[in-house]
Structures are given as C-alpha cells and as structure tokens.
Structure 1
C-alpha cells in the first residue's frame, strides 16, 4: 500500500511540476501557485461536477433537486481533493502546505460552477420563453 501511495504521490508531483513549467515557462503566463490552484482545481471540479450531474440524472430521473445533490457531492469531493493535495505537499516537501491554497482551489470550483449555473439558467429561461411564445402563436 505504501508503494502505491508513493507512486500516486510521485505522479501528482510530476504533474504539478509539468503544469507549473508549462504554464509559467512555455506559455510565459507568470502565474503564482495560487493562480494555478484556482484554475486547475476549478477545471477539475467542474469536470467532476458535470460527470456526477450526468450520472445522477441517469440514475435518479429527478428534476432540479438532483443538481443540488450533484453540487454538494462534488463540493465534498473537492474538499477532500484540495486537502489531500495540501497534505501531499507537506509530506513530500514539494510545494507549501497552506490552508489558503485549499480555499483558493475551492473558490476556483465555485467560480466555475457559478458560470455553469448562469449559462444553464439563461438557457432554461430562454427555452421557457420560447415555449411560451410558441403557445401564444397557436
């Protein structure tokens, strides 16, 4: 088990280093560690959310309530993930274990979720208005 955990830690560390080098050196964005946490955790979080949302809808066949359930489940997973990464950084001395990094990562997910919610809300509002307009024409 220890070997598997160490292998996973090495994979995460190498991925972290690759992303940092790619973003800061290749793309020359000059992002800080906090910037990387915001974007990477936001993207990972919204991907997990979308997968959970789709699976939950298929399984439950419910309406709006499943979205809240999906968000809560994803947010819980994100909490575990950001703290696991921070603990991993402390154990391996690769990066700094900071509570603020975890919070910034969670804020990244919330920002991406709010964008998703706004787009979904606009789409559903437009769809509802379109349907009402078509009913009036009949």
Structure 2
C-alpha cells in the first residue's frame, strides 16, 4: 500500500513539475497556487459534467443507484483516510487489503439491503395482485 501511494505521489509530482516547465516556457509564469486553481477547476467541472449526465439518466430509474454511488465514493475516501492515518500515527498497519475488505464489507451489507428491498417489493406486488383479483371477482 505504501509503495502504491509513493508511486502515485511520484507520478503526480513529476507531472506537476513538467506542467510548470511547459507553462513557464510558453510564457505563462504561474505559481503553484494558480496551477492548482486551474487544474482543480478543470478536473472538478469535468467530474461534475460526467456525474450530471450519469445521475440524470440514473434518476429516471432509481435514486438508490445515485445514493449507492455517492455513499461508495465517501466510503473510498474514508477507508483511504483511515489507512493514511494509521501510517502517520504508526497505530496499525497501512495495507491495501484493509481498504478492499472495508469496501467489500459495505458492498456485502448493501447487497443484503437490496435483497430485503426486493423481497418487500415482491410481497407488495403479490399482495396488490391478490387484492385486485379478489375485488374483481366480488
């Protein structure tokens, strides 16, 4: 896990330096804060546009899907934060497997929730059908 984070950090740092060099050569002397402002603005609006399109389509079918995506995203942030906190404080081991198992736990319980929800919906549908059949025959 630590090695993966170091690799990602190294890639981002190299990319950061190259972008600063290219921007400087092009005649736009941006400082680090300005570069972060521009990149986060572009990344954020691209993510927003993508999620806007996807969530509008999902909303036609199920708000549960949108809630799941949002919750899963928050869970990813939480499990990474916990693992990073363990590394920084030396309390516990920072392991990628912990992240995977934490997210697996959420997905497992969410699938149980969906199963219960589907059973309830099937019972309601069967009851409604049974009620309609009995009222027609009277």
Please state which band the TM-score falls in when normalised by the shorter chain.
0.5 to 0.7
Paired residues, number:
77
Counterpart residue number, 1:98: 95
SS at match of 2:64: helix
In the alignment, which of 91, 106, 110 is matched to residue 107 of structure 2?
Answer: 110
Higher relative contact order (Cα pairs below 8 Å, separated by 6+ residues): 1
User: Which one of 113, 118, 121 corresponds to residue 121 of structure 1?
Assistant: 118
CA distances 1:57-111 after superposition (whole Å, capped 9, x unpaired):
xxxxx77420000000000000000000000000000000000000000000001
Alignment of 1:75 with 2:68, yes or no, is no
CA distance in 2 between partners of 1:116 and 1:63 (Å): 21
How far the C-alpha of 1:112 sits from its partner, in A, is 0.4
Which residue of the partner structure matches residue 134 of structure 2?
A: 137
Q: What corresponds to 1:66 in structure 2?
A: 63
Give the superposed CA RMSD.
1.2
User: After the TM superposition, which segments of 4 or more aligned residues of structure 1 sit over 2 Å from their partners?
Assistant: none
- Cα distance in structure 2, aligned partners of 1:127 and 1:94: 49
Mapped partners of 2:60, 2:118: distance in 1: 14
Q: Give the secondary-structure state (helix, strand or coil) at the position aligned to 2:77.
A: helix
* TM-score, L = length of structure 1: 0.54
